[in-house]
Amino acid sequence: MSSSFLSSEEYDERAHQLYNEGNYDGALATLREGLALYPNAVELHVGVGYARLARDEFAWARRSFEEALVLDPEHEDGLAGLGETMLRFGQPELAKRLFARVRALGYDDDIELMQQIGRALFRDDEFDDALEYFEVAVRQAPDSAEGVALVGYTQHRLGRDEAAAETLRRALKVDEHFAEARIYLGNLLYDRGDYEAALYQLDQTQPDDHWDELGIWRLIELRKSHLRLADGDPSFEPWESRLAELAPAIDPMDEMLNDLETRFNDQDARQAKEQLELFGTLLNQLTAEQTAEATHRVVGSDGRGYDGTWDEIVQQMRDSSATAAQRTVHEFMQSEARRGFSLTGRLIPAGDAESFLRASADAGLLRIVH
């Protein structure tokens, strides 16, 4: 059946599916095809806006959201999308007015939309406003552990630690297996000096629940100090194994420079200088080759940069992980996508490298420089 027989709703549904899979190019192509037939379809204009936003094409996103709002000035997703775009343009006050318009139109009961707006404000460090939207969502769904936890995370960022701890405990009453909230609470209590309470929370987690090293180091420390466990205790083995998985690999460049520094101290100045000049030439050649071949640059949450094609960047990220030898690139993307979903609630596709990286950037887990 020819796609020309599709309705505007069917085009929107197809594009939405592609978007959720991280195929933003495919979604955009589908939406354009639909708009060629249905130029006044508001949902298609809104869809183009979100696809553009996901691709960091902010000017184009703004244009699409504005075109949608010309057709329907009260379209809630168009208002929210334009508001998120304005945050990217550094215009938070305009963004807040657009978000407030969504609420004024009566969409407080749209939990997903309220949390979407809250997360956009949270990413822009607008914590007071983010809290307002998260609290609206919780009033509509008080039994959502994730929703309650979002309130707790924001309270913590506002310096309201006592309230944050109480809110996170409430989230755990809703879902006692919500490891992300329990780890956050454990670290918060540790920072406040409430070590016994921190141990109580962290001791209920499993090694695979942790996606950074801080909580694990603190749990080991607290077990040693409060439970009088000694170094080498068998109970530490799974935690130490997880630390090895999470520990970043040594940067080859740093390793080489450290080796050169050691050699410099062991050799006379002339020999060391000649060797450094030789390595400097090699490094310049290597840098030139990498620059010539690189098409993109991505910076991870740890500040480490990766250059190359989308596939090469994901390969480098996999290779820098502690479990590189145990996972294929596809398995690495699947694992990181699950981790990203647990941290942000955003769906991250793992079907191809570009979709994976763009969706990860949209979730705030990394940054695409170019």
Do 172 and 226 sit in the same domain of this protein? yes
What is the radius of gyration, based on Cα positions, of the chain? 24
Evaluate if residue 160 carries a pLDDT over 50.
Answer: yes
1 in any annotated domain: no
pLDDT in tens, 279-307: 555 555 555 554 444 578 888 877 788 88
58 in any annotated domain: no
Q: CB-based contacts of 279: which residues, under 8 Å, 6+ apart?
A: 256, 260
Do 216 and 298 sit in the same domain of this protein? no
**307 phi, psi to nearest 5 deg:** -125, 145
269 in any annotated domain: yes
> E-strand spans in 166-317?
296-300, 305-308
Do 347 and 304 sit in the same domain of this protein? yes
Final residue belonging to a domain, choices 247, 277, 300: 247
β partners of residue 306: 298
pLDDT in tens, 241-260: 998 888 765 555 555 555 65
Give dist(CA 21, CA 18) in Å, integer. Answer: 5
| Residue whose token pair is 């956050």 | 184
What SS3 state is found at 191?
A: helix
Question: For residue 330, with 0-12 CB atoms within 10 Å meaning exposed, 13-18 middle and 19 or more buried, which class applies?
Answer: middle
304 in any annotated domain: yes
**308 phi, psi to nearest 5 deg:** 140, -165
pLDDT in tens, 63-86: 999 999 999 999 999 999 999 999
Final residue belonging to a domain, choices 213, 247, 281: 247
Do 352 and 264 sit in the same domain of this protein? yes
Share of the chain above pLDDT 70, in %: 84
Q: CB-based contacts of 318: which residues, under 8 Å, 6+ apart?
A: 324, 327, 329, 332
Boundaries of domain holding 318: 252-368
Give dist(CA 73, CA 42) in Å, integer. Answer: 10
What SS3 state is found at 160?
A: coil
Final residue belonging to a domain, choices 247, 272, 288: 247
What CATH number has the domain bearing residue 229? 1.25.40.10
pLDDT value of position 352: 84
Q: Report whether 187 contacts 218 (CB < 8 A).
A: yes
pTM score = 0.65
110 in any annotated domain: no
Do 318 and 222 sit in the same domain of this protein? no
